[in-house]
Amino acid sequence: MDDETVFALALLQVPGVGPRRFQSLLARFGSAKATYYAGKAELSYFNNPAYKDLADRIVDCRKDPGVTLRIERLLGKYSAQGIEVVAVTDQEYPAALKLIPDPPPVLWRKGVLRPESTRVAIVGTRRATPYGRKVAREIARSLSLAGAEVVSGLARGIDTAAHEGTVACGRPTIAVLGCGVDQVFNQDASLLANDIISAGGALVSEYVPGTPPLAEHFPVRNRIISGLSCGVIVVEAPEKSGALITAHAGADQGREVMVVPGSIYSPASVGCHRLIGDGAKIVTSVEDVLRVLGFTAGAAGRPAYRQDCLPVEVTGAEASVFAVLKHGPARFEGIVDECSLDAVDVGVALGMLEIRGLARRTAEGWFESAFGG
């Protein structure tokens, strides 16, 4: 059991220790463990009355020798349910999220959360129109096939469509919850949550398992959706929408804010058009998203992410074929010879790589990587 995680959770039990104060304590003492065992005089630094009261509470907390033991037992119980927790000081904590002003001191996760993945958030109204749902699915699918992990909030409407667009092609997506990761709030969301985990994605939350989905949690969790991502795409947001909170959080965090425009007569797009007036970028295709985020385009205008930004995960025969194509265009027969694979296996692998947007066939009948040689 990692000490930092245990002591971070112990500190978070102390009244008055939230994300910003936790960051302040961490900056002064270097670790959660050092903070927990710091002397009362040190904890009362700057003669700040707020910190003096906090020092008393931390000292009172550690007088109970069973605090850390109970936390360790609790973590063992959740681990048996497939739920893990990672502290902000841990290398497994998402790199982008560490950079926001108030990162969650701990993240609870169910599924796989890769620390260095490049992610794009797609958010919008729960009362989505068929147009909005279609756009969210298509952009999510295109981004995920190229290697990005789509982030959203598992709510009805646009969030659900974005997650569905990724799991339909077997790619990972991250759902950020305003409740415990064991408290998915309805049957449809529960089924989708299972699909997300099966596709290699994750449910994440800063709230301890067992925490119900309270209304006040959702605006707070929106900073995590944007914080995990390099950009936020808003697809349909009425005048008062939680998606606008995510967009503003993203702007404050230095993320690119992008908007899919809608009909001027649609109430579902009023908030979107206001964001455009405030300077958000208009996007109408995945190519627009690539341009805004600074990713490159491959030959013939096909999107190709910079390999240092988005990981391309292929396995088996597809990996062998893709390795050949990375060295430059090749004929089918040449690929068979290079890979030492059966021609049928090479054909299937090439077909899958084309479907996933990782390879393409030239007009001359050669095959090449969509990322260039």
User: What's the pLDDT tens digit per position in 80-135?
Assistant: 999 999 998 888 999 899 888 889 999 999 999 998 888 999 999 999 999 999 99
pLDDT of amino acid 305: 40
Rg (CA), the chain: 23
pTM above 0.85, yes or no: no
Angle at 303 between CA 147 and CA 291, to 5 degrees: 100
- Arithmetic mean of pLDDT, 204-218: 92
Burial label for 41, CB within 10 Å (0-12, 13-18, 19+), is exposed
Q: Give the position of tokens 């990724």.
A: 166
Q: What is the pLDDT of residues 332-347, one digit of tens each?
A: 888 888 887 877 778 7
pLDDT of amino acid 50: 60
307 has a pLDDT exceeding 60: no
Q: Give the position of tokens 């949690």.
A: 217
Higher pLDDT, 284 or 350: 284
Q: What is the pLDDT of residues 32-88, one digit of tens each?
A: 888 888 888 888 765 566 666 788 888 888 888 788 889 989 899 999 999 999 998
If pLDDT is split at 50, 70 and 90, which confidence band does 233 have?
very high
If pLDDT is split at 50, 70 and 90, which confidence band does 301 have?
very low
